[in-house]
A and B are shown apart, each in its own frame.
Chain A
Amino acid sequence: MKLKPVAYLSKGDFPLGEGEALALYRAMRRARFFDEKAVTLQRQGRLGVYPPFTGQEAAQVGLALALGEGDWVVPSYRESALLLARGLPIHTLLLYWRAHPAGWRFPEGVRAVNPYIPIATQIPQAVGLALAGRYRGEGWVVAVAIGDGGTSEGDFHEGLNFAAVFRAPVVFLVQNNGYAISVPKEKQMRVDYIARRAEGYGMPGVVVDGNDAAAVYLEARKAVERARKGEGPTLLEALTYRLAPHTTSDDPSRYRTREEEEAWRAQDPILRLRRALEARGLWDEGKEGELLAELEAEFTQELALADAAPEPRPEEIVEHVYAEMGPDQRRAWEALGRGLHLEEAW
């Protein structure tokens, strides 16, 4: 069977309502703004190692906006755009990437869990979370995102099979950006599309142009509706590209060419939606300027909030290991709280 990526914007179609289109654009622009600021902060030594997502906004934001309020997202580590679009406050996200303990506790009400660093481990967990929603009669849908490389891990396959067997209300989004750090897709798998795997588990697989916000959003919405109606999981593959390095400590010139990057830059998902909006008179230079000023003001305020977070206390190391501190944590906590270590406190 031939799979064909779903695309709208490149064909001149504009299947979005005005409100939806503008919401997508604003959320993508805001995410990009954050990403650029985050990289700058990292360079200034004000953020730890950071994995940028520039180029993948349509995939992440498209999925986020397709969800309902009660739905959950289970992100991988590159999903800052997904988290922002889901309502995670910027200062929390900054503190998270600052490796500040306060950034690791997401606010109640934000239906997103912490990023997963070990690859693919969130996939079976997302299925469990989805089933919990069904048991509890809450009917939430779980959206889980992963990279193309992550689909090589056993957990990916076990998780998808479980989801299909239990008809779990999950939307699996694979952001196929062509690389797992340096390893190109061809060295990761021998299928043209990852979505093709869906059939083997017994669920629909859909390929979308991942730089086309309309395509991702609409296909994600269909998958969410399917899940909500009890029809089970969907595997959605978004073809996209990470214009930035793997992380702020990576050098992509070792494994990919400038020409390749430039070719993808022309497919920038933000520019593509913006052109489509402009063609319909929904956006212009003035509106863009206003939006950027708004984002700048918001970021400044949020950065100040992050900066104002109190210095972490050494004893936070042993807090929250158990619901109630055991004797080993207690002893360490008391020592660290007095500015000592265990050995010094004896």
Chain B
Amino acid sequence: MVAEKARVLNMVQAIHEALDLALARDPRVLVFGEDVGRLGGVFRATEGLQAKYGEARVFDTPLAESGILGLAIGLAMGGMRPVAEIQFAGFLYPALDQILSHLGRWRHRSRGRVGLPVVVRAPYGGGVHTPEQHADSPEALLCHTPGVKVVIPASPERAKGLLLAAVEDPDPVFFLEAIKLYRGSRAEVPEGHYTLPLGRARVVREGRHATLIGYGGMVEVMLEAAEVAAREGVEVLVVDLETLVPLDEDTLLEAVRETGRAVVVYEAMRTGGFGAEVAARIAEGAIDHLQAPVVRVAGYDAPYPPFSAIEHHYRPSARRVLAALRRVLTH
């Protein structure tokens, strides 16, 4: 990582900067999707890029997610490096056929001849009172697709370096951006080009009593819970998985072995969520170190409620994480 000067940016700004750099560095990079051109994206992540790089490289597509993914696949086959934006992750569903049947399979089905360096960016997750489908967290669907990578940054400086790495990656990468963090998180972001490795989890807080594991919008929730726990003398280790596929099992297991107690936090529906995968990996790899069952804190088995007055009950909070911590600590 070449850290030059740093400034405080929010996550949208950091992502914007990464896209700008990617377009500047590599003429094969293309940025497209619904409303990304003139409007600059509904969240403004692509603001001004069309003016700077022209309509051939930054462009609006018709309103058709399956078309966007199919186009990206073809462009990548032809040697380009498409970075597609899907307006909200909950609108990836019309494109699932392209994703499941093709995007993740091409390298395998061509026995290595056709690799698809596609990046699909999509905002996901709740906490900001959006209409139906806009707060979905469909990462488990994507993780269950062989051949794709799934990256979910938790802060602006991580987002920038990870996105640049995703663009340079030879395989398809889903890059999910927590809407809550777009303007809600600010951090020092190094200027210039740098990449952060995909496939590595990181410990964002050290501790010896219990381990919290999560990603994206849940990292700040876990850190908040850890802060409260610290005031009661409980030292909590916090892991940001950052890349769900491929999963950095070594860092994960080591973090669990250090404390013997683990809580997994994710905001998607509980059943079949990515936290179930994490719990299973822990059971397979660290059972001898566990002093309590792995506990999940997740959304409920219901659609993410667009009902603003009660949606905060669905999305895991520090309070809920603390309750789970209490449970594993008193086991």
Contact = CB atoms under 8 A, between A and B. Distances in A.
Interface of A: 48-49, 77, 98-101, 104, 117-119, 121, 149-150, 152-155, 180-183, 187-189, 254-255, 311-314, 316-318, 321, 326, 328-329, 332, 336, 341-344, 346
Given A311-B309, A341-B320, A118 B301 contact: no
11 contacts: A101-B310, A118-B91, A154-B64, A181-B34, A182-B38, A183-B37, A255-B39, A314-B310, A317-B307, A332-B300, A343-B320
A314 B313 contact: yes
Interface in B55-98: 60, 62-67, 90-91, 93-94
Given A149-B63, A326-B301, A101 B35 contact: no
A119 B39 CA distance: 19
A153 B131 contact: no
Interface in B109-131: 129-131
B94 A118 contact: yes
Given A321-B301, A328-B301, A48 B308 contact: yes
B302 interface: yes
A254 B327 contact: no
A316 B133 CA distance: 17
Contacts of A117: 131-134
B271 A328 contact: yes
Contact of B307 (A101, A152, A321): A101
A152 B94 CA distance: 12
A155 B94 contact: yes
Given A152-B64, A187-B62, A321-B303, A118 B133 contact: yes
Contacts of A344: 319-320, 323
B38 A254 contact: yes
B328 to A, nearest CB: 10
Interface size class of B (residues with CB under 8 A): 35 or more
Contacts of A99: 129, 131, 306-309
A117 to B, nearest CB: 5
A104 B308 CA distance: 13
Contacts of B93: 118
Contacts of A121: 94
Contacts of B324: 343
A336 B38 contact: no
A336 B313 contact: yes
B172 interface: no
Given A154-B67, A155-B94, A316-B307, 4 more contacts: A99-B308, A183-B37, A317-B305, A321-B302
Given A99-B307, A154-B94, A317 B313 contact: yes
B150 interface: no
Nearest to B324: A343
Nearest to A103: B307
B63 A180 contact: yes
A343 B63 contact: no
Contacts of B37: 182-183
Contact of A48 (B60, B90, B131, B270): B131
Which interface residue of B40, B60, B67 has the most chain A CB atoms within 10 A? B60
B255 interface: no
Q: Which of B65, B94, B301, B327: most chain A Cβ within 10 A?
A: B301
B70 to A, nearest CB: 10
A157 B53 CA distance: 33
A48 B131 CA distance: 8
Contacts of B130: 49
Interface in B252-286: 270-271
A98 B311 CA distance: 13
The 10 closest A-B pairs by CB, nearest first: A152-B62, A182-B39, A343-B323, A344-B323, A149-B63, A314-B313, A328-B301, A343-B324, A99-B308, A117-B132
Contacts of A313: 310
Contacts of B65: 153
Interface string B216-243: 0000000000000000000000000000
Given A48-B131, A48-B308, A100-B309, A182 B94 contact: no
B62 A48 contact: no
B230 to A, nearest CB: 19
A278 B306 CA distance: 44
B261 to A, nearest CB: 14
Interface in B21-59: 34-35, 37-40, 42
A125 to B, nearest CB: 14
Contacts of A317: 300, 302, 305, 307, 310, 313-314
A183 B63 contact: yes
B63 A152 contact: yes
Contacts of A328: 270-271, 300-301
Nearest to B306: A99
Contacts of A329: 300-302
A77 B131 CA distance: 10
B295 interface: yes
A64 to B, nearest CB: 23
Nearest to B313: A314
Contacts of B270: 328
B310 A316 contact: yes
B300 A154 contact: no
B310 A312 contact: yes
Contact of B38 (A255, A318, A321, A326): A255
Contacts of B162: none
B194 to A, nearest CB: 31
Contacts of B320: 341-344
Contacts of A254: 38-40
- Residue from B42, B67, B90, B129 whose CB has the most chain A CB atoms within 10 Å: B42
Nearest to A153: B64
Nearest to A249: B42
A49 B301 contact: no
Contacts of B295: 343
Given A329-B301, A343-B323, A183 B35 contact: yes
A182 B90 CA distance: 20
B94 A153 contact: yes
A318 B311 CA distance: 11
A104 B321 CA distance: 31
